[in-house]
Structure 1
Amino acid sequence: MSLFRLDTSIRTEGSVSREVTDTLEKAYLEQHPGGTVVRRDLGTQPLPADLWGTAAFAGFTPEDQRSEAQQAAVATAKELADELLRADAIVVGAPLYNFGISQHLKTWVDVVITDPRFAPGTTPLAGRSVAIVVARGGGYGPGTPREGWDHGIQWLSRILGDVWGGSVTVVEAELTLAESTPAMAELRGLAAEVLTQAHERAAATGKEFARSVA
């Protein structure tokens, strides 16, 4: 049994998305002690910003006429696509940055789409369980001043679910900056409750993923 884990937080210490994803991974492996976890960390090892453009134009270039850079870009896209296709379940850690996903995650999606198996009109992740673990520094729920300002997770859910065909579960943690932001001090109790709920949902999701691929 294989779980593919994609981390995208630029923080390695104190990253809520990484910690909640840890909980999901742990619960998954508790159900499958012999299972494997394949990890890719875009936060510490980001893809080159120009990789997408190179891979995209390679798709319009006859194979025998591609430059070395185009050949390398196509090979990288294939490697990224293979990681997803080999996985029984997938979890993506996606903290909210500037009201959207990180540039590293956007580049990853764009590059994967250049692989013909992930082109629009295909559903390569059909039958696979996919979790998105999102961490937001503030509050974006119904009735809050920034309701609707999260422009990343809905888009990512569309890609992983509606475009690629995966069965998507979203695990949300909010108010993650309350502990370190004086202006949010009155929200710290609520933030702790939300974080606990996020870990609980992550654990339940990990167990459910393990059962679904058994």
Structure 2
Amino acid sequence: MTLFRLDASIRTHDSASREIADIIEEEWLAARPGDTVASRHIGVETLPATAWAAAVTGGMTPEPDRTAEQREAVALAAALVDELIAADAVLFGVPLYNYGVSQHFKTYIDLVCADPRAAGERFLGGKPVVLATVRGGAYGPGTPREGWDHSTPYLRRIIADHWGADLTVVEREFTLVGVNPALDSFKDQAAQMQAGALESAHRAGRALGALPSPV
């Protein structure tokens, strides 16, 4: 079986979303040591910002008439969908940036949706997907930033409702505590949030590892 992992963090070290995703991957491999983990890191190896427009226009253009840019973009969109379809389970590591979806992951979503196989709804058909998402501040009920997380609800809508995945979300907040001195008074609360998120990551990884192998 294959786990497909995609990371959208712009950080290669000390990334909170990668910490969670690493645990999930480790649990998968502990349960399935002979299986495959395919990966893509769009936060570092970025997708071209202009590829979505080229994929959309290319999809509406007869193949012989496509420009080289359109052909490349259509092929890229197809490759991204191939990765999702070929995997038995999917792991996304996506941080909140500036109160919204990472631009890298938004480009990814747009390109996936440009492929005809993903144009309709629920093309993932109940495939297990874990979303590991982190937020630097706190956005829960009663906090000053309640309602400012414009990423997680959108990702739930796309991955679960539109793509049709069986989605599990592992979340961690206050990742900037210990980085931003203005948040030092929240150290105990942040530590509890981190511990809870890491335990949730272990549970999510074990659940993926327990998936039955296809007959």
- When normalised by structure 2's length, the TM-score is 0.97
In 2, distance between residues paired with 1:36 and 1:127? Answer: 20
In 2, distance between residues paired with 1:115 and 1:195? Answer: 37
In 2, distance between residues paired with 1:144 and 1:50? Answer: 37
Instruction: Check 1:151–1:213 CA distance in 2 against 1; reply closer, same or farther (3 A cut).
Output: farther
* Residue matched to 2:98: 98
User: Is 1:80 aligned to residue 90 of structure 2?
Assistant: no
Question: Is the contact made by 1:3 and 1:36 (CA closer than 8 Å) also made in structure 2?
Answer: yes
Instruction: Check 1:213–1:50 CA distance in 2 against 1; reply closer, same or farther (3 A cut).
Output: farther
Question: Is the contact made by 1:128 and 1:166 (CA closer than 8 Å) also made in structure 2?
Answer: yes
Give unpaired runs (5+ residues) of structure 1.
none
Alignment of 1:1-214 (within 5 A): 1-119=1-119, 121-214=120-213
In 1, distance between residues paired with 2:53 and 2:68? Answer: 14
Q: Which secondary structure does the structure 2 equivalent of 1:48 belong to?
A: coil
How big is the shift at 1:186?
A: 1.1
Amino acid in structure 1 at the alignment position of 2:142:
G
How big is the shift at 1:213?
A: 3.9
Amino acid in structure 2 at the alignment position of 1:112:
V
Q: Which secondary structure does the structure 1 equivalent of 2:100 belong to?
A: coil
Q: Which secondary structure does the structure 2 equivalent of 1:162 belong to?
A: helix
In 2, distance between residues paired with 1:194 and 1:82? Answer: 35
Q: Which secondary structure does the structure 2 equivalent of 1:142 belong to?
A: coil
How big is the shift at 1:127?
A: 2.5
Q: Which secondary structure does the structure 2 equivalent of 1:150 belong to?
A: coil
How big is the shift at 1:212?
A: 2.5
In 2, distance between residues paired with 1:27 and 1:193? Answer: 22
Question: Is the contact made by 1:132 and 1:169 (CA closer than 8 Å) also made in structure 2?
Answer: yes
In 1, distance between residues paired with 2:24 and 2:147? Answer: 26
How big is the shift at 1:114?
A: 0.7
Q: Percent identity?
A: 48
Give unpaired runs (5+ residues) of structure 2.
none
In 2, distance between residues paired with 1:122 and 1:188? Answer: 42
Could you give the per-residue CA deviations for residues 4-60 of structure 1, whole angstroms, max 9, x where no partner exists? Answer: 101000011111000110001101111111111110001110001000000011111
Instruction: Check 1:52–1:70 CA distance in 2 against 1; reply closer, same or farther (3 A cut).
Output: same
In 2, distance between residues paired with 1:163 and 1:198? Answer: 26
Amino acid in structure 2 at the alignment position of 1:178:
V
In 2, distance between residues paired with 1:212 and 1:100? Answer: 32
In 1, distance between residues paired with 2:121 and 2:66? Answer: 25
Which stretches of structure 1, 4 residues or more, deviate above 3 A after TM superposition? none
Could you give the per-residue CA deviations for residues 90-146 of structure 1, whole angstroms, max 9, x where no partner exists? Answer: 111110000011111000000010111100x33221121111111100001111111
